[in-house]
A and B are shown apart, each in its own frame.
Chain A
Amino acid sequence: MDTIFTRGPSLNNRLALAIVLSALLIFVDHKVEGFKSTRVYLNSFMSPLQYLANLPRLMLSESAQRLTSQEDLLEENDKLTNQLLLMSEKLQRFDALSQENKQLRHLLDAPVRNDLRKMVAELMAVDKNPYSQQVVINKGAIDGVYLSQPIIDEKGIVGQVMEVGTTNSRVLLLADVTHAIPVRSQRNDIRFIATGSGALNELYLEHVPHSVDIKSGDVMISSGLGKIFPEGYPVGTVKEVRRDESRPFSIVTVTPMARLDRLKYLLLLWSDEDKPSDNDVDNDINSQSKDNANKADVEANGEQNSVESSVENSGTGRDTQSNATSGNEEAEDDS
């Protein structure tokens, strides 16, 4: 080793080069839109490390699963059977209602809301970066995941895909400071924008005048205006409205519906209108997410669909629905 005659550029020059390169990277990654596709390759390149890091947790949960007592399993089974029964009862009414809704919408010449394609994903890792709220899921470009794809859990909207890798992708949660979602109040249809606060259990409503009719307990649902999130999924409930007259706007805090701190299974939604819904993907859905699936049946986006295309779409929607019901009936027989 040579201590006096160093090879290559001097340390100062190296630092200058590193700083310039970093600044360039920050600029390109932050400002240039076309760079996103490069990021996909970079993410896939590094994903083995992510799988490796996830291994201990995987092993822990595996062993915990093996060690569950039979009593616990029986208890859980009972609970789930009950839940299934209740859900399928709801579903029976739901079918009739959604059929009726479709017919009424036809009569009104309003576009029929068509079914959404969806897929179950599992949480892989939660980010340790304290400045942002992100999670990594185990579905990626090979499963058809795309940028800013909406993601929900069994309670409500969770967030959107911010980076796609080949086999996994990164989800920006609702609560991130850089995230905003257009919502409307379920009670009176007033539109707001909900931005993340950086804390997992809080969102803020932006620019709410003092005179607006809003009170704590109001349910906020997605309004579908941003073209990213489909319409009608629950986002959160208003926790507190502070009307301080010395401020230009009231401060409204919202608690997200989705339990962002304990995510496990997530549902990816395909809200593209031009993409045909894939039936084989629908098979991916297991029973635990059926209530979501049914919610999706009626509350799909489809604002600009012509009536003709929606007729065929509603046909496929009916098919999947009947599949779902028959599945439920089988489950009932089993129980």
Chain B
Amino acid sequence: MIRKRHSVIVTTLLIALVLQIVPLPIQADLYRPDWVLIVLAYWSMALPHRVNVGVAFLTGVAVDILVGTTLGIHSLSLSISIYILAANYQRLRNYSVWQQAIVIGLLSSLYHLLTFWVQHLLTDIYFQLDYLWPVLTSMLLWPWVFWLLRKTRRQFSIT
């Protein structure tokens, strides 16, 4: 039982990681949603005692390795974003899907700004508003991912 639960969560996270790094044409690349953040957000809202800051940290390290940033940048921003979610899961669960999408948008912008801020400390990069396109696509994607993951969760009856 426990094995199955873990394997389902890990599989969805791995799929999110792959989607995060799948090569896309440059025009579409700008709008790539934050797959990892969305999937983590769903699990930490649905099972806040199974998936929270610890899993977010480990996934963040994986993102850092895959994307090639300095280790710790994505783990930091993901941990903080997921902390906010996990601390307020009871309130967020009662929101409608569209309200949740707005929360996800805020969370995603926080995630991007944190990532930018830490990288700005390490190297001199400049902020462009283009970097925030993923916020919009993540918001639009949330209802669908939410529906799909809830279906998966009920299918495998994970609690």
Given contact pairs A46-B62, A125-B23, A126-B23, A132 touches B17 in the complex (Cβ within 8 A)? no
Which residues from chain B contact A19 at a C-beta distance below 8 Å? 76, 79-80
- Contacting residues of chain B (12-58) with chain A, CB-CB under 8 angstroms: 14, 17-24, 26, 29-30, 32, 47, 49, 52-54, 56-57
Q: In angstroms, how far is the closest chain A Cβ from the Cβ of B41?
A: 15
Answer whether residue A241 sits at the interface, using C-beta atoms and an 8 A cutoff: no
Q: Are B62 and A26 in contact (CB under 8 A)?
A: no
Q: Are A26 and B53 in contact (CB under 8 A)?
A: no
Which residues from chain B contact A22 at a C-beta distance below 8 Å? 57, 60, 72-73, 75-76, 79
- Contacting residues of chain B (102-138) with chain A, CB-CB under 8 angstroms: 115-116, 118-119, 122-126, 128, 130-131
CA distance in complex: A23, B70 (Å): 11
Answer whether residue B8 sits at the interface, using C-beta atoms and an 8 A cutoff: no
Given contact pairs A53-B23, A128-B20, A131-B116, A18 touches B76 in the complex (Cβ within 8 A)? yes
Which residues from chain A contact B47 at a C-beta distance below 8 Å? 1
Classify chain B: how many residues form its interface, as a range: 35 or more
Which of B21, B54, B115 makes the CB contact (< 8 A) with A18? B54
Which of B29, B83, B125 makes the CB contact (< 8 A) with A131? B125
Which residues from chain B contact A17 at a C-beta distance below 8 Å? 53
CA distance in complex: A53, B54 (Å): 25
Q: In angstroms, how far is the closest chain B Cβ from the Cβ of A288?
A: 22
Answer whether residue A139 sits at the interface, using C-beta atoms and an 8 A cutoff: no
Q: In angstroms, how far is the closest chain B Cβ from the Cβ of A114?
A: 33
Q: In angstroms, how far is the closest chain A Cβ from the Cβ of B57?
A: 4
Answer whether residue A129 sits at the interface, using C-beta atoms and an 8 A cutoff: yes
- Over the window 43-58 of chain A, the binary record of Cβ atoms lying under 8 Å from chain B Cβ atoms (1 yes, 0 no) is 1011001101110110
User: Is chain A's interface secondary structure helix, strand, loop, or mixed overall?
Assistant: helix
Q: Are B32 and A128 in contact (CB under 8 A)?
A: yes
Which residues from chain B contact A46 at a C-beta distance below 8 Å? 62, 65-66
Q: In angstroms, how far is the closest chain A Cβ from the Cβ of B83?
A: 4
Q: In angstroms, how far is the closest chain B Cβ from the Cβ of A197?
A: 10
Q: Are A23 and B72 in contact (CB under 8 A)?
A: yes
Which residues from chain A contact B139 at a C-beta distance below 8 Å? none
Q: In angstroms, how far is the closest chain B Cβ from the Cβ of A330?
A: 37
Q: In angstroms, how far is the closest chain A Cβ from the Cβ of B87?
A: 6
Answer whether residue A178 sits at the interface, using C-beta atoms and an 8 A cutoff: yes
Q: Are A6 and B75 in contact (CB under 8 A)?
A: no
Which residues from chain B contact A143 at a C-beta distance below 8 Å? none
Which of A42, A56, A128 makes the CB contact (< 8 A) with B65? A42
Q: In angstroms, how far is the closest chain B Cβ from the Cβ of A134?
A: 5
Answer whether residue A24 sits at the interface, using C-beta atoms and an 8 A cutoff: yes
Which residues from chain A contact B17 at a C-beta distance below 8 Å? 49
How many A residues, CB 8 Å from partner?
A: 50
Given contact pairs A2-B49, A14-B52, A46-B62, A127 touches B68 in the complex (Cβ within 8 A)? yes
Which residues from chain B contact A11 at a C-beta distance below 8 Å? 52-53, 83, 86-87
Shortest Cβ distance from A52 into B: residue? B18
CA distance in complex: A109, B69 (Å): 47
Q: In angstroms, how far is the closest chain B Cβ from the Cβ of A204?
A: 13
CA distance in complex: A129, B73 (Å): 12
Q: Can you list 30 A-B contacts (CB < 8 A)? A: A1-B159, A6-B49, A11-B87, A15-B79, A18-B53, A18-B54, A18-B75, A19-B76, A21-B75, A22-B76, A25-B61, A25-B71, A26-B70, A26-B122, A27-B72, A42-B71, A45-B65, A49-B66, A50-B66, A52-B18, A56-B22, A57-B23, A128-B21, A128-B29, A130-B30, A130-B130, A131-B123, A132-B68, A162-B68, A178-B123
Interface of B toward A, CB cutoff 8 Å: 14, 17-24, 26, 29-30, 32, 47, 49, 52-54, 56-57, 60-62, 64-73, 75-76, 79-80, 83, 86-87, 115-116, 118-119, 122-126, 128, 130-131, 159
Interface of A toward B, CB cutoff 8 Å: 1-3, 6-7, 11, 14-15, 17-19, 21-30, 39, 42-43, 45-46, 49-50, 52-54, 56-57, 125-132, 134, 136, 162-163, 170, 177-178, 198, 261
